[in-house]
Amino acid sequence: MKVYHSFQEIQLDLNTGKVSCKELVSHYLDNIENNKHLNVFVEVYKAEALQQAELIDAKIKSGKAGKLAGMVIGLKDVLCHKGHGLQASSKILDKFISQFNGTAVQRILDEDAIVIGRQSCDEFAMGSSNENSAFGPVLNAADNTRVPGGSSGASAVAVQADLCLASLGSDTGGSVRQPAAFCGTVGLKPSYSRISRYGLISYASSFDCIGILSKNVEDAALLLEIIAGTDEYDSTVSNKPVPAYSQLLKFDGKARIGYLKESVESPGVNGEIKDATKGLISALQKDGHTVEAFEFNLLDYILPAYYILTTAEASSNLGRYDGVKYGYRSTNITDLESMYKKTRSEGFGKEVKKRIMLGTFVLSASYYDAYYTKAQKVRRLIKEQTEKLFEKYDFILMPTTTTTAFKLGEHSNDPLSMYLADLFTVQANLCGIPGISLPYGKDKEGMPIGIQLLSKSFDESRLLAFSQHIFKNLN
């Protein structure tokens, strides 16, 4: 079977009978089987996906199929899918079976998407390389000695290696955009609260966002319009109407774009990535858009503020894993306290424990104001200064990452060097604004380069339309 690069292509062939859902599912199942070494899927729902495909083929014939009929999707191991395993790639949720569907999952199922399996990730979405999974590292399909990025690394590889058409992941500090850049896919993180978080395993609740990994901008737009919007199970979700993003992908007129000066000048950014960014800047200028550099003097404070706040929220959110209600319980216990301690110490991996410790520390009585409150104040400064930029610019442009995909184990010994992998992506999460990573060429070793575009909150329509313009016409 041919490799499909867009859902539109699939729909065309489904409607003319050139392909069936069953053939599509079989194609992806074969690819999954042939790419087992990439270690993408924790579980593959072979029989169920094939059965679902037959049902949807019948629906297509009778003209009753939903908007996503023919779309085969993978789910990051943080999204509740009723009757299926879910464990945030952690031992502490060993044998956990979801008892309900999260809202985003329910909405794609209602539109006849087929879920082919659940994908590994960094444990509890904490990591930038997918090396922190209880199921072992996931490999980048472009070079098996390199990481796919993280935390939604496997979800990006699945799209990169054609193991499904699209994946739903989550993005707390870049976990969709950074692996998208490392694997050469599109990665969309919408505005905070655009998509209900009901049924998304919590990491840092004021940052967490469900995101989309896809082969192109249209598919991301279509998925977003289906999963976004008001939901009675999440009181923080936005009640703003959801535009028909997939119908609004034409960008008219000229944009005002600001690019982060440091991102094309700093010696900390890989030369080929700087060149690709400069290449896009001149292509945009030739295309008639206004593009100018800006300096962001709070850049150095973004990551420390992010790590204080996310570890604090994580230490609180992960308090629920106590060996009582679900998941793993240590057998090596004498009383209630030892049950908690042994269960958590044996169940959580090293990075998760470290972040719980840091979060507990910054929330502890003696240090709360010095770290936690301070970081909340800095978050406001960063948000306000970012919003000011959008008075001048329609979009902000910078590379998604400072390097292309790094080697497995390259950052394992230095916690700070791994954290720096998220330098350009966390700003969007600190401010709650949408961001997208678009594939933009490759380095000389063949590794994909990603360019990131940011817009003001709830401006996804224009962000997606402009992304589509770059993706189609300037790439």
Partner 1 sequence: MNIDQETIRKIAHLARLEFSEAEATAVGNDFNKILSWMDKLNELNTDNVAPLIHMSEEVNVLREDEVKVTISHEEALYNAPKKDSDYFRVPKFLS
Which parts of this chain interact with partner 1 (CB under 8 A)? 95-97, 99-100, 192-193, 206-207, 232, 235-239, 298, 300-301, 304-305, 307-308, 315, 322-329, 333-337, 339-342, 344-345, 348, 353-354, 356-358, 360-362, 364, 371, 373-381, 383, 415-416, 432
Q: State how beta strands 395-399 and 41-44 pair.
A: unpaired
Q: Which is nearer to partner 1, 315 or 437 (CB)?
A: 315
Closer residue to partner 1 (CB): 99 or 144: 99
What single DSSP character describes residue 4? P
Nearer to partner 1, 83 or 136 (CB): 83
CB of 332 to partner 1, least distance (A): 11
* Residue 215 or 344 with smaller CB distance to partner 1: 344
H or E segment to which residue 75 belongs: strand 72-76
CB 432, min distance to partner 1, A: 5
Distance CA 187, CA 171 (A): 10
Smallest distance, Å, CB 303 to partner 1?
8
Q: How far is the CB of 395 from partner 1 (least distance, A)?
A: 21
**Residue 71 and residue 10 in contact, taking contact as beta carbons nearer than 8 Å:** yes
Kindly tell me the sign of the dihedral angle through the C-alpha atoms of 280, 286, 287, 290.
Answer: positive
CB of 273 to partner 1, least distance (A): 24
Minimal distance in Å, beta carbon 416 to partner 1? 6
**Catalytic choice (175, 214, 457, 461):** 175
Nearer to partner 1, 217 or 356 (CB): 356
- 66 vs 304 by CB, closer to partner 1: 304
- CA-to-CA dists, residue 26 to 9, 266, 281, angstroms: 17, 47, 42
Catalytic (active site) residue 437 = no
Q: Which is nearer to partner 1, 230 or 475 (CB)?
A: 230
The least CB distance from residue 192 to partner 1, in Å, is: 5
What is the DSSP annotation of 253-309?
S--EEEEEHHHHH-TTS-HHHHHHHHHHHHHHHHTT-EEEEE--TTHHHHHHHHHHH
Q: DSSP state, 35?
A: T
Catalytic residue, chosen from 151, 191, 455, 467, is: 151
Contact 231, 196 (CB under 8 A): yes
Identify whether 316 is a catalytic site residue: no
> Is 76 one of the catalytic residues?
yes
91-103 burial, b if ≥16 CB within 10 A, otherwise e? ebbeebebeebbb
Q: Are 164 and 116 in contact (CB under 8 A)?
A: yes
CA dist 382 → 190, 249, 296, 387, 408 (Å): 18, 30, 9, 9, 33
- Token pair, residue 467, equals 């992304």
Q: Would you state the structure tokens that stand for residue 427, as one six-digit string?
A: 């700003």
Considering the candidates 67, 76, 215, 456, report the single residue annotated as catalytic: 76
Q: Structure tokens of 165?
A: 């058409």
Give the residue numbers annotated as catalytic, written as ranges.
76, 151, 175
